[in-house]
Amino acid sequence: MKTTVPGGGEAGSSLRPEISGFLLLDKSPGQTSFEALWAVKKALGTGKVGHTGTLDKFASGLLIVLAGRATRLSPWISHCDKTYLAAIFFGTETDTLDPEGSAAARGPVPSRQQFEEVLPRFRGNILQTPPLYSAIHLDGRRASELARAGEKPEMKARPVTIYELRLVSWEPPLARILVRCSGGAYIRSLARDLALACGSRAHLAELRRLAVAGFSVEAALCPEAAGGEGVSRAYREALRPVDRTLFEALGIPRLEAGADVLLPMIHGRPLDSLLAGLIPEGALCGEGAPAAVFAGDRFAGIVERAADGRWNYGYVYAGDCGTGGTRAGL
């Protein structure tokens, strides 16, 4: 008979500490975000790996990859602000709004002046219609799946925020732009709409994600640079623990509690008495705003502010008080 022991292993088996943490990955163009995770899974020896925001196949740049229990933190990372460097190709709009699609419409290449004059319209809070070829779910199916089946579902416009939008270089028919935007914004849609606003048609020719919240692609692992047999080791060494630095980079405030809070949180005790008197370190917004609870040196979990000011559980990360699932590594 196999006996479960604290930490998730089995008695009589060779126990390995649970793998849990995050790493910064510089995805190469030509592979899907899903494909980029295969090497990570193999190197870490776990299938419990996920990313926090899809990059299209033709795109490159920063993916924040989560492993083990940390995969449950995805909702609080995927909606963070992002920064991109993008190249817009004027003259041809494709059905996918990227270089992998087929030509769907054509238009004249605008002048630099025409292009720069429309940029202010797309800064700030705007309504944006997502691409038909996207991962958005409509009635339980992805929009891209419906499109490939010949259907044309209605893509409803939704609010997004463009914090920064500026022209980096003008080399017609290419225009390179820098975009800093809220989570949920599509740069392919932005390229389409910018072109339409200046009487043209366009698609996104190149896209590179430079940053997610406070994380930069410059600090990310580039698998090609590691090369050969060193790649697996590089993935393992790149895995970071879920600690205060993660939440500082994400801009999520912290509640610093004593170590005695850990076990009651694991058991789901009411939070208001556990966290009474604690003041979040960092800005905290209104209803639904998250905070990361640290019980001594350990990350205990995510809590969220309710409309009445009370705290609700978001996700209890600690899991147990034994071997611990909060440590990155093998």
The set of catalytic residues is 56
Nearest to residue 178, comparing CAs of 239, 224, 187?
A: 187
Residue in the structure block whose two tokens are 């997004």:
160
Count how many Cα atoms sit within 13 Å of the Cα of residue 123 in the half-sphere of its side chain.
Answer: 12
Q: How many helical (H) and strand (E) elements, i.e. helices and strands, does the chain have?
A: 10, 17
Buried b vs exposed e over 153-190: b needs ≥16 C-beta within 10 Å?
A: eebeeeebbbeebeeeeeeeeebebebbbebbbbbbbb
Cα 306 to Cα 279: distance, rounded to the nearest angstrom = 15
Coil/strand/helix, residue 183: coil
Contact 169, 177 (CB under 8 A): no
| Cα distances (Å, whole numbers) of residue 191 to 127, 152, 205 | 14, 20, 10
Residue 93's contacts (CB-CB under 8 Å, 6 or more residues apart) are: 103, 104, 105, 106, 107, 192, 195, 201, 202, 203
